[in-house]
Structure formats: C-alpha cells, structure tokens
Structure 1
Amino acid sequence: MTINAIHSTAALPSWTILCDFDGTISFKDVTDTLLDAFGMSGWQHLEQQWEAGDIGSRECMAGQIALLDASRRELNECLSSLTIDPGFAEFAAYAHKRKVPLHIVSDGLDYAINFILQANGLSGIPVIANSLRQVSERRWALDFPYHNPQCLKGSGVCKCGVAKAVAVNKILMIGDGRSDFCVSQVADHVFAKKSLVDECRRMGVPFSAFRDFSTLPALLDGLLEQRERVYLAPVEQLIIRGMCDQPS
C-alpha cells in the first residue's frame, strides 16, 4: 500500500519543446527566399545593418517586409517551392506520443510557416512567430504580437519571453543559429546544429548536436530516460528503506 502511494504521487518533471523553423525545420531561410524573389531595392542594406548589430531583427524585418512586392498567389507559389526536413513529421508525432508539448517558435513569418506546414500535411502544431499582413494587392506589413520591449536583441519574437510563458518546467530548445543563441542559455537542454553548436560549446550550455530530425526521436528518448532515472532514484531508495524498516 505504501509503495503504491509513493508511485502514484511521484510526478515526473514535464518538458516543453521550443523548435526554431528557418534553417532548422526548413532547409532555407523563408524570409530571405521571399526577399530574393520579390524584394525591392534596399532590403540588402537593412540586412547588412542587422548583421553589423546596428539594428535589431524586429526593425530589420519590418523594413524588409515593407519592401516586398508580390501578390498572394506569387507568394504562395514561392512558398510551395520550399522544402522541410523529411524527418520532422516523424519527430513531431513521436513528441506527441511521448506527451511532450512541441511549439514552433520563430522570428520569421507566421503565414509562411503555417502555409509550409499545411503543404506538408502537418497540422495542430502551435506556431509563435511574427504576423504577416497583406495591406494591398502587392504590399505587405509585419506585426509583432510576441515582441518584448526589454529584449536585448531587439527581436520581433522574444524567444526567452516565450520560453518563460509556455514552459511548465524544463525547456528543450531545437535550433540552428543566431536567433536561438539567447534562449539556449535559459534552456535545460539544446538540440543544436550549425552555428548553434559552437555557441552552446562557448557558453557551456548542455546540448546534443544533430544534422537532421531523423536522429531526434532517439535523442529525445535518451533525454527523457535520463530524467526518469534521476528523478525516480530517490523515490526507489525511499521505497527500499521503507521496506527494510518494516518489522520482521
């Protein structure tokens, strides 16, 4: 009776997955692809200012999206040409099976991300991103529902703020680059590729390197099993002591 009571009240710490989109799930940066195809003169200068650290990504992207010259049909045709990691769907299904909430958190475009997910037969995954809005037949604007005025990076989506808002307990971050550097420092573990690997090493952040999503179900399994071993060991010791303390 005592053993059953201990097991029934021992709740494992929960995890939430925050996953970047551009360059992580998608092979190409979606915004850059649209700008290459439809951007008017001036968007490259904004990109250079952002890369130099003179402006934040929010200011950069707001200016760049205002320079898009494309109809919705043209935009959709371009988005249809973009591909995602073929292993992502399996990983999303596996996370759901293991009851680990998965959120896509991107400093990119919500419309584009949702369009690409739907084109790949994926639905039901929450997307937290900047809001793309059509203002005329060929012009667009960007709104920032997840902007944090205190964000040190001046991001459109403050991923650190999102992490604090959605994570129940532990945070698993999946990403590839610059927009993931800050939030990786507050994550409990990172699945990292490309430049994020070097950043995690530099900052001493716990991480697992990966190349594509096909390896991530096994990595997630290992992380969850490690959590269970660490958490259940004290409970098992308590059970054993309780049994040994019983009068013979």
Structure 2
Amino acid sequence: MKPIIFCDFDGTITNSDNIISIMKAFGPEGWESLKDQVLNKEIPISEGVGKMFSLLKSSQKQEIIDFAVNHSEIRQGFKEFVDFAEEHRIPFFVVSGGIDFFVEPMLKDFIPMEKVYCNKGNFNNEFIQIEWPHSCDELCHNNCGCCKPSIMRSIGSRYDYKIVIGDSITDLEAAKKADLVIARDFLIEKCQEEGIPYKPFSTFNDCIKILEDELGVRA
C-alpha cells in the first residue's frame, strides 16, 4: 500500500485556529454560540462557518487578512516534514476547513497551491460569504463544507495507506477513513470517544518520528 498524507491546516500546521482567532479579534456578536454548535455537532460545519463569517463585513477584508497572516505561527518542524515527505516520495496534501484568503498566503512558501484544498471567501457583498468548492460527494451527507473524506476519495485510491493529521472536529470524518491518524487537541478527544486508534503529536518533528516508525523509513 502506498502512503499518502492528508493534513489539516488550522491548529495543525498552525499553532492556533485562524477562524477562532479571527472571530475573537473582530468579535462579531453570536459567533461563540455558532462555534459551540459546530463542536457539539448540533449544526453542520459548513453552516456554522458560513454563518460566523457572515457576521463580518467585506470592507474588513484586508484588515482580517493582515491579522490572520501576522498573528499565526507555523508549527515547529513543518518545513522539515514537507521535505521528509518529498524525499520519500509520499504525496502530501493540505485539506483545510480554512479559507483561501489566509490559508494560501501562509502556505505559498512551503507547498504548491494545487496541493491545497480549502474553502473560498467571497467579498462582493456587504458581508463575507464563504464558498465551498470541495463539498460532499454522494457518499457523504454531513454538509462538511470542505469535505475531507470526499477529497480523500477523489485524490487517492482504496489501495493507498491513508495518513490523516489533524486537531479538531473537522478532521473526525477523515480520521474514520484513515489507516493512520496523527492527532492533537480536540481530535484526540473525539478519537477516544469513537474508538479510533491514533498517535499523538505536538510538533511535526513528532510526525516525522511516527512515520519513520510506522513506514520503516528514515529521514
């Protein structure tokens, strides 16, 4: 089986969740209730994220982009991890519930954008609208927004050894389809609840060590 990596962005590649950071910074009334409903699976991810951003005015676009890019840090070891995957010819894709206007500028120095799957921001109206170019296929009915299991099915094959790296509720459905889950934070809690085996990580140096052990390769 050929390994293939599907990696989350917010809170995984970055040290913090950009959507949550943006909402905290700009403070639109009602966002916390929407966030809690998503985490508790009371409403679909796409509905919650879409409604949260619809609380922000499109005129704030550049201010929001500047804030996200300047206040978020890439997790330790990420560049080395990307180099490790390339050296061992392991396909590496970013599958993110984040939005293009902050995901792409933060990743452009690390990987080609054709390997990044995320949602898109539309600033043509008074309030920000989120578009979903990677919505659920016919096998998923969770209204994921950026549907990670659907992307996994479209990119890979059933013969692949699927590696999912993530941190949150947006990674849970992908984790259910994975052969190896590398998890942190809220995803660990959900994996424990669902009985999904996982390997914990703090930095991407940990991820390299896990893949060395699991795949029998060395950096």
TM-score if structure 2 supplies the norm length? 0.86
Deviation, 1:32, is 1.4
1:7 equivalent in structure 2 = none
Deviation, 1:155, is 1.2
Deviation, 1:39, is 4.5
Deviation, 1:154, is 2.3
Is the CA contact 2:65–2:101 (under 8 Å) kept in the aligned structure 1? no
Residue among 63, 85, 93 paired with 1:74: 63
Distance 1:117 1:59, change over 3 A: same
1:194 equivalent in structure 2 = 185
1:46 equivalent in structure 2 = 34
Deviation by residue 1:161-216 (Cα, 9 ceiling, x = unmatched): 11111124120000112111121111011111123234334444342221111122
Deviation, 1:75, is 1.8
SS of corresponding position for 2:188: helix
SS of corresponding position for 1:99: coil
Distance 1:165 1:36, change over 3 A: same
2:216 equivalent in structure 1 = 225
Deviation by residue 1:122-153 (Cα, 9 ceiling, x = unmatched): 231511111112215x7421100111165343
Identity of aligned residues (%): 27
Give the structure with higher Rg (CA): 1
Structure 2 unaligned blocks of 5 or more: none
Aligned residue type for 2:129: A
Q: In the aligned structure 2, how far is the partner of 1:180 from the partner of 1:204?
A: 15
Aligned residue type for 1:49: Q
Q: In the aligned structure 1, how far is the partner of 2:76 from the partner of 2:152?
A: 26
Find out whether 1:60 has 2:39 as its counterpart: no
Aligned residue type for 2:79: A
Distance 1:149 1:65, change over 3 A: farther
Is the CA contact 1:188–1:206 (under 8 Å) kept in the aligned structure 2? no
Q: In the aligned structure 2, how far is the partner of 1:52 from the partner of 1:223?
A: 32
Is the CA contact 2:165–2:183 (under 8 Å) kept in the aligned structure 1? yes
Residue among 62, 70, 74 paired with 1:84: 74
Q: How many residues align?
A: 211
Residue among 116, 126, 130 paired with 2:106: 116
Q: In the aligned structure 2, how far is the partner of 1:197 from the partner of 1:61?
A: 22
SS of corresponding position for 1:32: helix
TM-score if structure 1 supplies the norm length? 0.77
Structure 1 vs Structure 2 CA RMSD: 2.1
Is the CA contact 2:39–2:169 (under 8 Å) kept in the aligned structure 1? no
Q: In the aligned structure 2, how far is the partner of 1:46 from the partner of 1:147?
A: 20
Distance 1:223 1:129, change over 3 A: same
Q: In the aligned structure 1, how far is the partner of 2:162 from the partner of 2:17?
A: 24
Structure 1 unaligned blocks of 5 or more: 1-12, 227-248
Aligned residue type for 1:89: K
SS of corresponding position for 2:216: helix
Is the CA contact 1:111–1:132 (under 8 Å) kept in the aligned structure 2? yes
Residue among 122, 130, 155 paired with 1:166: 155
Is the CA contact 2:136–2:142 (under 8 Å) kept in the aligned structure 1? no
